[in-house]
Structure 1
Amino acid sequence: MSILLIEDDKGLAELLTEFLGMSGYDVTHCADGESGLAEALARSDIELVLLDVMLPGLNGLDVLKAIRQKSELPVLMLTARGDDLDKVLGLELGADDYLAKPFNDRELLARIRAIIRRTGDKAATDEPASLSKKSVIPIGDISIDVQKMVVTCQSQVLDLTGSEYALLKHLCLQPGELITKEELSEACLGRRLQAFDRSIDTHISNLRKKLTAANSLVDIKSQRGRGYGIFA
């Protein structure tokens, strides 16, 4: 699997390239936003982007925005610890997840594997066998083709990130039921929900906007402090 690392810290980039290489990944490194963006859009073999926010020239958020205008390529943002604004902006712009520096190598690997699992590995699932065998999940005017990982609304294909797709699918497997944010985080993001973590809320907000833009009649409702449910 090929990973694109866009990181201006040469020392960190070398460490990550070596570590990920030992973990079985082929890493391409770009040290600035302009070259990283060009690489991300030009190559079809890149399966995930590790994107630092603080880059010289074109910063990470601008790179992410440009990628999302043309592609749903999975992106894991690397942010400064405590910089909540960058985390929120990154998620709102369509990042699949974020990781604050400094981070543990194992945590990085776990985040990468979780993103890959929900965006590319159709066989990896924690769903009951009876549900995982469904090839199409319908709810209201939405249809999820599980095999192709394609969501349509009134025959219109929705451009969803891997995280948005995973959340919508999980909600649609339990229509009309409230699902806690803790369950959604573990099932869809591959990690436990942390205090003050707004990732699920931001992904759901983006998902709602896309459903509204498609004139969907399906409604994702929330219960403050508890979770979300989908209703047709």
Structure 2
Amino acid sequence: MRVLLVEDDDSIAEPLADGLARYGMAVRRVATGAAALAARPGEPPAEMVLLDLGLPDIDGLEVCRRLRRDGDVPLIMLTARGDEADRVLGLELGADDYLAKPFSVRELVARMHAVGRRTRPAATAGDGSLRLGPLAVDRRTHEVRLRGEPVALAPKEYYLLLALAADPGAVVPRRQLLESVWAPNFFGPGKTLDFHVASLRRKLGDPAWIETRRGVGFRLVVPGAGRTSAV
């Protein structure tokens, strides 16, 4: 995910950019509203904007308004402001979510993925299935097919695949997978997730379908299509 971080405080921006990079995100940081609004020729557009409201030149709410006027890039406001009016106004101006400082990188990443799922849902075919290259997941019948051939999955394997396929290419944190596939506040054996990932890889016939980001989580990709090495 290409992320534009608009934050003027170095003590916040630098560790936040480093933290997001560990989740596999490419972060470009700017310190002013004017820089956030200025297009950079030849640079791919951001896929997510993290916007501080307390900027030194243009108020963050105005930056939000202009960004929303010019496009529909997902946007999360980050601010130390506690005024409910600011939060409501920001959401009314088009922000997709609002996170008050201080916050953890883990919570922010979870919110980013949630916003991403709402604003950029996985490709859905006419028959109601999610498709990723030759892989199709039919959410109505719970059937999985790879190159047209059925893949027999246990219930947990199916829901694990569904959780990864909901945001293909994005790194899904381990804790998020455990809590969405197993149970909130899951406290089972630490290897439960790894065991099911290994089993799912085996049934998909190629371990490259699921990439491991050590210490972070997993992501679903088409083998050979834009792969990156595990870290």
- TM-score w.r.t. structure 1 length? 0.51
Q: CA deviation at 1:45?
A: 3.0
What is the aligned partner in structure 2 of residue 53 from structure 1?
Answer: 53
Pair 1:11 & 2:21 matched: no
What is the CA RMSD across the aligned residues, in angstroms? 2.8
Q: CA deviation at 1:81?
A: 5.0
Corresponding residue SS for 1:36:
helix
What is the aligned partner in structure 1 of residue 109 from structure 2?
Answer: 109
Aligned-partner Cα distance in 2 for 1:105–1:68: 25
Q: CA deviation at 1:11?
A: 1.1
Deviations 1:28-78 (A, max 9, x none): 000010001114898543100000001011111111111111101110001
What is the aligned partner in structure 2 of residue 130 from structure 1?
Answer: 140
What is the aligned partner in structure 2 of residue 37 from structure 1?
Answer: 37
CA 93–34 in structure 1, closer or farther in 2 if over 3 Å, else same: same
Deviations 1:71-107 (A, max 9, x none): 0111000122522121111001000000000112211
Mean Cα deviation higher: 31-40 or 60-69: 31-40
Structure of larger gyration radius: 2
Aligned-partner Cα distance in 1 for 2:105–2:54: 20
What is the aligned partner in structure 1 of residue 22 from structure 2?
Answer: 22
What letter is aligned with 1:76? I
Aligned-partner Cα distance in 1 for 2:41–2:74: 12
- TM-score w.r.t. structure 2 length? 0.52
Aligned-partner Cα distance in 2 for 1:41–1:98: 29
CA 20–38 in structure 1, closer or farther in 2 if over 3 Å, else same: same
Q: CA deviation at 1:120?
A: 2.1
Listed as ranges, the matches of 1:140-219 within 5 Å are none
Q: How many residues align?
A: 131
What letter is aligned with 2:108? L
Mean Cα deviation higher: 75-84 or 18-27: 75-84
- Fraction of identical pairs, as percent: 48
CA 90–40 in structure 1, closer or farther in 2 if over 3 Å, else same: farther
Mean Cα deviation higher: 76-85 or 1-10: 76-85
Q: CA deviation at 1:131?
A: 9.6
Q: Which blocks of at least 5 consecutive residues in structure 1 are unaligned?
A: 133-232
Larger relative contact order, structure 1 or 2 (CA cutoff 8 Å, min sep 6):
1
Aligned-partner Cα distance in 2 for 1:30–1:59: 14
Deviations 1:130-174 (A, max 9, x none): 399xxxxxxxxxxxxxxxxxxxxxxxxxxxxxxxxxxxxxxxxxx
Aligned-partner Cα distance in 2 for 1:27–1:97: 19
What is the aligned partner in structure 2 of residue 96 from structure 1?
Answer: 96
Corresponding residue SS for 1:69:
helix
